Structure formats: structure tokens, C-alpha cells
Structure 1
Amino acid sequence: MATSSWCRSTFQVFRRVEPLVVLEQLGTSLFDTALLMVVKDRCATANATNPGGEDDQQKAMSDFYMVQNLIAQLTPIVPALLLAKAGDRGWRRAPVVVPLCGYLLSSVALLQVVLLRLPIQVMFGAAVLLGISGGFCAYWPGVMTLTSLGSNADNRSQVMMRVELVYGAAGLLGSLLSGHVFLLYSSSVGHGTVLLCVCTLLHLLSLIHATVLLQVKQVSSEPEESSTLLPHSSNSVPAERSTRMNMVNVALLFSAAILYGSSVGGAVEILGIFVIKQPLHWNAAQVGYGNAAGFVIFLTSFLGAVAFRRCVSDVTLILIGMLSFASGIYFMSFVTATYMFYLARSLSLFGLIPLPTIRSLLSQKVPTSLCGFTLTALQLALRFAALAYIPAFTKLYQRTLGWFPGFVFTISSMLAVLGMIPISVVGCRWSRPRRSEEAETTETRHADEEN
């Protein structure tokens, strides 16, 4: 009887979203390292006879990633919206299953590039396929929607941060292993083949899990009519005014997410290329360790969110995360040695708190039937912003290679600080009705005492 109960409990755990996130992120972290090293090798070969040397290689790599990332940001927009609509109409697995097909095709494409010595530009076509399937733009809001529907409003922020923690832990493990596995080869295959075979297998397993095992359940019971961003206002506040204040706060949350997402995305866009050049000049194993350091932030951000939530509001929590990332990425501007890189990373301990917390605020305060669409709209807003910051950061990096390669990180830090402004406004607007309500309650109590 005990064995049967244990088996049922284990099976229920495997039906949750966390195992899916682990499988997918393990595969993606392996894929990211493999793609970076393959691009480096191809660009180094193409510029072997070029007297321009390392700067030309850096420009070629940054141009490749700029084109690939622009494709990956632009093509998922319409498919992600369609998948979000399908999810809100009851097909909750669709925004998760369809993008996983794209991830599987991408890993197969890179494997063929390595085995058949195809041009690296083949990965542009793979990026198009990934975008048509919805990509991360559909996959992650789909995961967050399933998480929000399966949790209560009171603990939703913590549950979402737990999923982010699992995501980061899987990325940490995959990144630590990726550099070493990349170097494995036999006489018949070259570097990266074993890594990409494992990556493809993991993406296949994640697709099978999402299709067969993933459970969709809804424990949220808040009525749709009570979905407002602000606390319930007093009777003296007209409904139209409350709705108007709600929409303004939603817009402020979106603008803060866009500014902060642009800051993080622009920095990460350049960081992988930055560590390849002198004076760091990392190899595959060191690249894996560097990626792992980035995923450690998922753990520290989760622990920080759990600790700070006991004494501060969600708005203050977001500000702490933004300030943490801004200080860390500013220090990254002056990194000239490996130990300095890890010091800069350590300053960004809470850098992943803001976006999950913003998603949590939005998901709590919209009707259940619009939850998936709202989170996808936020993700699409970040994608549209990427169409601007990806070429801007890339060209700025290329222009400053000769005199200050870390200048892009200074710009990133400034964007993170700007993102703190709308969040601060939200905090002020949020506390104002509360103060008014408390004052009215105090006046009513005093009047009752006088009577």
C-alpha cells in the first residue's frame, strides 16, 4: 500500500511543469554553448588569412548573432499570439508543445551543420522555424500560465519564482557540463557532435513529456470581476476612476519590464562574444562556467525573493533586483580578468527578481480567460523592444571595440536605472489609495467613538 502511494506521488510530480522545464533548459543550455563555439570556429576559419585578426572575428560573430536574434525576435510575434489565444480557449498545452517542436528542429539543424560541414548561415533558417513555432516567446508564457493557473493568488509569486529557480538550476547544470561535453569526440566525428546528440535527445524527451505527461489543472478561484491591479477601493472612489488607475499601472508595469528587459537582453547579447576575445579569451569549458555563473543568479534571486518578501512589498522587491543588476553590469564594463568577471556576476545576485515579479502582479490582476494573453503580450512587448536594442547594442559594441569594449554594459546599467522610475511611480500610486482608505477608516472609528 505504501509502495503504491509512493508511486502515485512520484507520478504526480512527473506530471508537473517543473520536470518539463528541467529537460528543456538542459537541452537549451547545451545548445547555446555548442552554437557559440561552432560560430567561433567558423568565424576564426573564415578570418584565418585576414590581417584584421580578432576584431574582425568579433565583428563577424556579433553580426551573426544580431541577424539570428532579430529573426528569433521577429518571427514568433504572430504565432505566439495565436498560440496564446488557443491556450486561453482551453488548449493549454499548445503554447508549450508547439515551441518545443521548434527547439527540437533547431538542435537537429545545428547537428547537421557540424556533421555535414554545412554553412553556419543554415542556422538562420533554423531560427525561422523556431520563430514560426512560437519559440521562447510562446513557450515561457505558456509555462507561466500553467503555473499561475495551478497556484493560489496568495503564493503565486513564490510559485513562479520556484519555477524560475528550477529553470536556473537546470541551466547551471547544463552549462557546467556543456564545455566539457563539447570537447568529446571520436575519430569519426568532431567537437560538438556528442554535445548536440545529447541536446537533441533532451529536447525530444521534453516534447514527449509535454505531449503525454504534462498535467493541466486550475486551482485559482478568484472571480474575474475582482481582477484589478489596485486593492479594492473604498466606496468613495468611482469605478471608472479605479479602472483608469488600473490601466495606468498596467502601462507602467509594461514600460518598466521593457526598459529592464532591454537592459538585460542587450547585455547578455554581447556578453557571450565579449568573453571570447582578449584579455579573457575563454575556451569552451570556461564559456560553460561563465554561463553557469549566470544561472547561479536564478538560485540567489529565488532565495532573495523568499527572504525579502517577508519584510518588503513586491514593488520594493523589483527595485532591489533592478539595482542589483545595474551595479553588476556596470562593474562588467571594466572587467579585464576572469576573477573580475565573477565579481561582477556576484553583484547581480538578485537580477532575476524583477521580471517574474512583474509577471506575477499582472497574472494576479487579470481575468483567468486573459491570463495567457496578458503574459504573452508582455513577452511580445519585450520582443518588439529587442528589434531596437539588438542592432543598437551590436553596432555600439563594434564601434567601441578599439577604445572601450565594455561601454555597452555601461549603457545597459543606465537602462536598468531608468526602469526603476516607472516601478517607483507604481509604488507611489499603489500606496496612495491605501493611505486614503486607512485615513477614512480612522475617521470613521473616531466618529463612532464620539457617538
Structure 2
Amino acid sequence: MGPEAACPGRGLLSSLQVRTWIEPVVASTQVAASLYEAGLLLVVKASFGAGASSNHSTSPSPRDALEDQQQRAISNFYIVYNLVVGLTPLLSAYGLGWLSDRYHRKISICVSLLGFLLSRLGLLLKVLLDWPVEVLYGAAAINGLCGGFSAFWSGVMALGSLGSPEGRRSVRLILIDLILGVAGFCGSMASGHLFKQMPGHSGQGLVLTACSVSWAAFALFYSLLVLKVPESVARSSRAVPVVDTVSGTVGTYRALDPDQLDKQSVVGHPPAPGKAQPPRTIIALLFVGAVVYDLAVVGTVDVMPLFMLREPLSWNQVQVGYGMAAGYTVFITSFLGVLVFSRCFQDTTMIMIGMVSFGSGALLLAFVKETYMFYIARAVMLFALIPITTIRSAMSKLMKGSSYGKVFVILQLSLTLTGVVTSTVYNKIYQLTMEKFVGTCFALSSFLSFLAIIPIGIVAYKQASWLQYGDITVT
């Protein structure tokens, strides 16, 4: 007699616990997103390439001039597209987060996935019916009005936080990031091959966009019919302080947990007047560091596809897919880096390691001339995900479960709004400098990445003073 026969409810309980896993939704959504991102770039390039060819059929121009014109057209498209994607969620994402906190946790996820699916259908119809590229602005607006990535990711973070105890919460959130990266890597690796399945202008990209729609539909129906909201896991026992030795919450932010502060004020000596830094100050400094670092990352990510298509690289569809896939490997290497570094360093040190990693890689990227140099620069960025992930995990320790939806939306919208401004500025800088020094944007990102270390260094200094004068023991 098996264990399930002896205890019939055990098998049902296990199946219910599996249904609370958000990972299948994250994986399928990211596969759809990675296919869509590659398909969007290649479809837009093909559209402007065809337009440039027809416009100059009677008066041939040098190849470099046509390529520059195409680059400016693609860049201008992405300026408007990113503005629509970034600004429209401001109208709905916070409301969806509030509804999720008040009524049902799946509201923000399901509504945003509906918009996600409709926007992918827009790209499919553009390829199938040969609509103008301006139609994609409307598809992006629909996605944003349904909450966009801001509402979706805040809902994912809320479910991930609710379904894990505080001592293991950071591990769960980083694992979700890891699933996101692995799924994006697989989708990007396949994107170039799928795009070439139907040669010819009329059917080019049809298979790729159809696959993206299929994965997005699966994510929506899974979240509606299968996914269950986990019960809130109680806080870790307060009898013995728990230190998370796997993720980016060793010592520093554990000591900043309000509940732990109450306990430490009784067990240990009270902090000296004027020495203890309130959590609000620490959060503000972390927020500044996250925003400045996000400026550097978003600017690099937005310009990199254009850089791949232009000389000196001039990649084809398959090479572009591989290049995008290389960006997703950072999820894996950053996860492994957290596992190793958290045993030796505090969170602030790990955050600075990640910022140095990305800043150094961006500086190398500015001087790339060959394909192998591009992958060397991407390899140097192997810890680039650590800063944002660690900062987000640290901030979650200072929230109450009933506020996860709203707080995560505010954080995500702040980063999204910053990204919108960054995308516009970087695309304009790229257009102005691509003929003189094509790596200008990457050099600027390197500077911003190193600049972001300053507020994190202040946090480390304040925290060290707090521990010294407050007599708080941190493992």
C-alpha cells in the first residue's frame, strides 16, 4: 500500500501545491516575449528595408547611406514604441495592483497576460496581412493599458513572496528570475531559425510570431484555469534570528527588518542617538542606486539590437537571435554568483560587484569590432543581474504582505518610467554618434554603472556605523 493510499489527501495536497507554482507562467510568458522581441526587430527591419529599397530604386545611394537611413528609421520607431510601452501602464498598473491586494491576487497577472496576448496577435496580423508598422503602436498601447510588464511582474513577485517563508523568500525570487532567464535564452536561440522558416517577404516571420502567440495563449489559460494563489506563509520564528545564506540578504537588510529591530532593541544594546539609520533612509539610498543602475542597463539593452545590425557586426537573423540569447545567460551566472558570494560578502558588496561587472562589460562593448569581442564583453557582464535582484529582495523584507501588490507596482513603474526616458535619450544619442563613434552609448552606460556604486557605498558605510554603535551582531 503506497503512501497516497494510506493518506488519500496527501496526493491532492501535493497537486494543489504544484498548482501554486508561478514558474510555468513565467517560463511560457518569457519564451513568448523573447520570440516577440526578436520578431519585432526583424520584422521592423524588413519593413524599413523594403521601404528604403523602393524609395531609392531610381536613384541608387551608397550602401552606407542606406544603412544609416534604415538605422535611423528603426531607432525612431523604437523611440515611439518604447514611449507607448512605458507610459500606458501608468494608467492601469497601480489600479490592478490595488485590486489584486483587495480582491484576488491573480487579477494583475491575468489582465496583463490578456494584453500581452493581444499585442502578440497584433504582430502576427501585421506579418500575415502586411499592415504598416504603425499598427504595432496600437498593439503596444493595448498591452500597456492592460498593465503591461509592470503589473505582470508585480503580481509574480507578490505570489512568489506569499508562497515562501521570509527566510527562504529571496531564494524563491531569484529562482523565478533564473526561470525567466533560461526561458528567454531558449526562445532567443530559436528565434532566428524560426524567422527563416518561410522565406519571402510575405511570409517572413510568420512561424516565429505564431509561436509567440501560442506561448502567450498558454500562459494566459494556465493562469486562469490552473494557477492557484498560495496561502500566506507565516514569518520565520522570532525566537532565533534567521539569516538567509543563499541570496542577497546576508546581515545588512536582515538587521533592518522592523520585527528584528524590535527584538534586537530588547536583546541587544539600544543604538546610540543619531547613529541608527531608519529603514526609510536605507530604502531611499537603495532606490537611488537602483534607478541610476537601471539607466545604464536599459540604455544598453535598447541600443544593442541596432548595434548588432550595423557595421562592424552586421549580423543576420540567426546571429541576432544568438546575440539576444547571450543576454539571458546573465540570469544563470548571476544566480550562481549570488550562491557563492552570499557566503563570503554582505549584500552591499554583492551589489557593487554586479555594478562593476556590468560597467566593465559595457566599456568593452563600446570598442567591439568583431563578433568574438562582443561575446567577451557579454561574458564580463556575467553578474549584471545581481544588483536589481538583491535590492528588490532587500526591500521586500520591509513590507507587509497586504501591500505587496501596490509596493511592487510602484517600484516597477518607477523603473519603467525611468526606462522610457532613458530609451528616448539613448536612441537620440545613438543616431547622433553612430557615424563618429558607435560605442558612445555603451561608454555612457559604463559611467552610469560606476556612478550607481556611490549610493550603495553610502549604505554600506551607514550600515557599518549602525552595527558598530548599535552593538547589533550580524552573521
Q: Is contact 1:229-1:250 (8 Å) kept?
A: no
Q: Contact conserved, 2:276 with 2:466, CA < 8 A, in 1?
A: no
1:30 is matched by which residue type in structure 2? L
Q: Deviations for 1:61-88, whole angstroms, at most 9, x for unmatched residues? A: 0110111001111110131111111122
Q: Which residue of 2 aligns with 1:47?
A: 52
Alpha-carbon distance between aligned partners in 2 of 1:209 and 1:140, rounded to the nearest angstrom: 16
Per-residue CA distance 1:340-370 (angstroms, 9 max, x = gap) = 1100000000101111111111111112222
* Structure 1 equivalent of residue 471 of structure 2: 438
Matched, 1:13 2:28: no
Deviations 1:5-35 (A, max 9, x none): 7797467435410111111011111111111
Q: Matches of 2:172 and 2:109 in 1, distance apart? A: 18
> Aligned partner of 2:157: which letter?
M
SS in structure 2 at match of 1:76: helix
Q: CA deviation at 1:386?
A: 2.1
Distance 2:272 2:469 in 1: 16
Listed one character per residue, the Cα deviations across residues 199-251 of structure 1 (whole Å, up to 9, x for unaligned) are 1111001001111111211443239xx95398456367589979972211111
CA deviation map 1:401-439 (0-9, x unaligned): 111011100101111111111111112222222212328
Aligned residues: 440
Q: CA deviation at 1:440?
A: 11
Q: Distance in 1 between matches of 2:448 and 2:281?
A: 21
SS at match of 1:260: helix
Helix, strand or coil: the match of 1:53? helix
SS of the residue 2:167 aligns to: coil
Does 1:255 pair with 2:260? no
1:115 is the counterpart of 2:148? no
Supply the AA of the counterpart residue of 1:251.
Answer: A
Supply the AA of the counterpart residue of 1:59: R
1:85-104 superposed matches below 5 A: 85-104=98-117
Question: The residue matched to 2:312 in structure 1 has which SS?
Answer: coil
Q: Which residue of 2 aligns with 1:420?
A: 453
Q: How does 1:265-414 map to 2 (within 5 A)?
A: 265-414=298-447
Q: Given that residues 102 and 133 in structure 1 are in contact (C-alpha distance below 8 angstroms), is that contact kept between their aligned partners in structure 2?
A: yes
1:23 aligns with 2:28: yes
Match of 2:265 in 1: 234
* TM-score in terms of structure 2 length: 0.87
Normalised by the size of structure 1, how large is the TM-score? 0.91
- CA distance, structure 1, for counterparts of residue 210 and residue 291 of structure 2: 36
Counterparts of 1:387 and 1:34, CA distance in 2: 21
> Are 2:87 and 1:74 aligned?
yes
Q: Distance in 1 between matches of 2:378 and 2:423?
A: 21
Deviation, 1:188, is 11
Letter in 2 for 1:228: P
Aligned AA (2:82): N
Unaligned runs of 5+ in 2: 237-255
Aligned residue in 2 for 1:168 = 181
Counterpart-to-counterpart distance in 2, 1:440 and 1:343:
41
* Percentage identity across paired residues of the two chains: 38
| Coordinate RMSD, CA, aligned | 2.6
State which drifts further: 186-195 or 4-13: 4-13
Are the aligned partners of 2:275 and 2:470 in contact in 1 as well (CA < 8 Å)?
no
* In 1, Cα distance between equivalents of 2:257 and 2:147: 28
* Aligned-partner SS, 2:360: helix
| CA distance in structure 2 between the aligned counterparts of 1:440 and 1:359, rounded to whole angstroms | 24
| Structure 1: runs of 5 or more not aligned | 442-451
Taking the aligned partners of 1:411 and 1:338, their CA distance within structure 2 comes to 21
Contact 2:105 2:155 in 1 (8 A): yes
Is 2:153 aligned against 1:140?
yes
Q: Which residue of 2 aligns with 1:83?
A: 96
> In structure 1, how many angstroms separate the alpha carbons of the residues matched to 2:13 and 2:260?
41
Q: Distance in 2 between matches of 1:437 and 1:356?
A: 28
* Letter in structure 2 aligned against 1:167: L
